[in-house]
Amino acid sequence: PYVPVDLEQSIVSYPELILDYDRLGEVKLNSFNLADIRIDKKWNFKNLSFNLYFEVQNFLAQPNPSPPEYGLNRGENGTLVLPKSLVQLSTTEGNSTPLPSFGFVLYF
């Protein structure tokens, strides 16, 4: 669950968004799948161990759900549409990319 935005009060105080805590728990994020994969190779020596790994986070490339974000309504040329109103922004762009990483760990 997340706290929804009070759109009427947020228009007055924009860019600060006012959260409606009276509605806490009424709305929930959509369900999602998340999976990571990791490959490790460990070498043990007399006084230390060396671990090398390669990891891919979100290798299913599923978008992560997030609460809606809002911005002022604007025309095609970027000017504000009057009277002021808030519109929901698309926030799914770029949050479904798999994230590869590699590294090492040295144990003494």
Number of other CB atoms surrounding residue 86 within 10 Å: 17
Structure tokens at 21: 């805590």
Please state, in angstroms and rounded to a whole number, the distance separating the CA atoms of residues 99 and 93.
15
Structure confidence at residue 94 (pLDDT)? 67
pTM here? 0.63
Please state, in angstroms and rounded to a whole number, the distance separating the CA atoms of residues 26 and 1.
7
| Strand order across the beta sheet in which 37-44 lies | 37-44, 49-57, 99-107
For the stretch 23-79, pLDDT in tens is: 999 999 988 888 999 999 999 999 999 999 999 999 999 888 889 899 999 989 988
Q: Structural domain boundaries of the chain?
A: 36-107
Please state, in angstroms and rounded to a whole number, the distance separating the CA atoms of residues 91 and 13.
22
